[in-house]
């Protein structure tokens, strides 16, 4: 699985801590981690939580990534922005129980975490525990197990509802503020990571044309 890490400007200084915790768990499980930044608070390309959602939508809908790990001060802004995108199902994860239940019940493709609120002593251990609960088991198996079938049915209904209520991603890209879009893909490693992994020629062509 290709996992994309996206950090926004207010918490960019913690990118290395988050990246180290994520790779320590995900890579031994056979996953690849792509760090889309921000890498520091001084980066020339600055991401807001709104841009986090737009970038998550681009990565997931183009299949350049299979899963997105993002966040902000409380985690809520990035979660809302992600869930505004077609095909993105983002949960707010604060502790390992959240991570486990989101994976097993909701089987979404993105999480948002609080990197300021409650981010104290040994925070990196909580991050690792959360990522382990997300990625060590097959998602969508249900909890409790006897409710797995109804949970799967509800996920399908939610996906259908989202499909009915959202435009496709290319239409979104054409409709959003183009300066906002340019800023969202301005990270120094975006092109290096995105275009080799993108599986949607239409999205790739549109972004290159910007």
Percent of the chain residues past pLDDT 90, beyond the cut: 100
Tell me the average pLDDT across 162-177.
97
Q: What is the pTM of this model?
A: 0.97
Going by C-beta distance under 8 Å and a sequence separation of 6 or more, which residues neighbour residue 94?
A: 75, 113, 114, 118
Give the pLDDT confidence score for residue 203 in this predicted structure. Answer: 98
Domain range for 204: 2-209
Give the pLDDT confidence score for residue 129 in this predicted structure. Answer: 98
d(CA 86, CA 32): 24
pLDDT (tens digit, 9 = 90+) per residue, 15-31?
Answer: 999 999 999 999 999 99
- Do residues 113 and 22 touch, judged by C-beta distance below 8 A? no
- Which CATH number characterizes residue 90's domain? 3.40.1400.10
Tell me the average pLDDT across 115-130.
96
The region, left, alpha or beta by phi > 0 then psi within -120 to 50, assigned to residue 110 is beta
d(CA 192, CA 190): 6
d(CA 14, CA 20): 10
Give the pLDDT confidence score for residue 199 in this predicted structure. Answer: 98
Token pair, residue 130, equals 């959360």
Give the pLDDT confidence score for residue 50 in this predicted structure. Answer: 98
- Cα atoms in the Cβ-side hemisphere of radius 13 Å centred on 172: 22
pLDDT (tens digit, 9 = 90+) per residue, 38-68?
Answer: 999 999 999 999 999 999 999 999 999 999 9
What is the domain count for the chain?
Answer: 1
């Amino acid at each position: 699985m290709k996992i994309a890490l996206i950090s926004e400007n207010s918490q960019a200084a913690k990118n290395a801590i988050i990246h180290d915790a994520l790779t320590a768990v995900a890579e031994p499980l056979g996953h690849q981690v792509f760090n889309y930044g921000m890498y520091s608070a001084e980066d020339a390309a600055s991401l807001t939580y709104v841009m986090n959602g737009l970038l998550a939508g681009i990565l997931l809908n183009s299949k350049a990534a299979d899963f997105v790990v993002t966040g902000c001060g409380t985690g809520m802004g990035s979660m809302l922005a992600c869930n505004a995108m077609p095909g993105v199902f983002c949960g707010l994860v604060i502790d390992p129980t959240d991570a486990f239940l989101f994976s097993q019940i909701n089987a979404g493709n993105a999480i948002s975490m609080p990197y300021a609120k409650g981010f104290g002593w040994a925070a990196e251990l909580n991050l690792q525990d959360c990522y382990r609960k997300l990625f060590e088991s097959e998602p969508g198996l249900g909890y409790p197990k006897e409710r797995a079938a109804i949970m799967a049915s509800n996920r399908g209904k939610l996906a259908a509802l989202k499909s009915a209520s959202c435009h496709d991603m290319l239409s979104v890209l054409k409709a959003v503020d183009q300066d906002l879009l340019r800023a969202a893909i301005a990270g120094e490693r975006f092109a290096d990571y995105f275009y080799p992994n993108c599986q949607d020629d239409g999205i790739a062509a549109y972004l290159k044309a910007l």
